[in-house]
Structure 1
Amino acid sequence: MEPALQDVYKEFARLGYSTELISDVDPHSNIPTHALLVNIENQRRFQYFVSPVSTPIPSFGGRRAQTAENYYRLEVFNLTGSEGYDLMGLSKQQIIDDVIDRYETHIAFLTVTSNADNPSLLTPPAPPVAEPALEESGNPEKH
């Protein structure tokens, strides 16, 4: 998972986005966590945070695991909470695709909420900028 997030982080940075990739270890499970953050000027930042979540082992057909009652899922969290799915078993490209899909969904959310008549406590009223502005020299501008 980390190599996929590294690739996405590098591409966002290459395009001039203000971005961070933070790695840590979950204190309860000792499993690594990773957070990809993309700052969007005057908007809520994008967050793709992967963290282990302890989950009961499912029982199928009345069978239960003999050794443990829980296992860990690697769930994706945005700024409002869990997205409710597990990344285990996904390929590097599938994780990259998932990050990009979630980013595009976040931009769509910001666009819709900025066009709403009601003020939002979560999202400023300005529409998001899909890509960073380019300087006249053609180099991406850092935000």
Structure 2
Amino acid sequence: MPFGLEPGWLWAIGGILLLMLEMLAPGFFLVFIGAAAIATGAFTLLFGLGVPAQLALFALYALLAVAAGRRIYGNAAVDHHAKHLNDPAARLIGRSVLVIEAVDDHGGRVRLGDGEWSARGGPAQPGDRARITGVDGNCLRIDVERTLPST
């Protein structure tokens, strides 16, 4: 035995070292391998497993830990604004605008916040509310918001 330690303790120490390395160079990979090594060490200490069984158990735990990690962290929810982080114009889709010049398929103007934009779509008349459905360069594609008549 190296250093006079039981193999289970060596697995546990190795796992803890991998967890520490994960803190120095984060990437969510070493944490799963470290957890597999710690679990292998615990089972080795509890059941006195031989080296082939330890290696097989470590391989199994590592595969399970990495698969679980990919399932949990691989499909992390993405904020609806984050998917268009590098496309600021695409973040405008779904926002409401006020029509200030009649809009049809050939053009028009809308107000968004404190600015005016060219727009196509509609048709919409000044004073109508519209929703942005797309962006073509610096021209907004809009669709008029329909309101239900009150009863």
**Quick one: higher RCO (CA 8 Å, sep 6+), 1 or 2?**
1
- TM-score, normalising length from structure 2? 0.30
Structure having the higher helix fraction is: 2
- Rg comparison, structure with higher value: 2
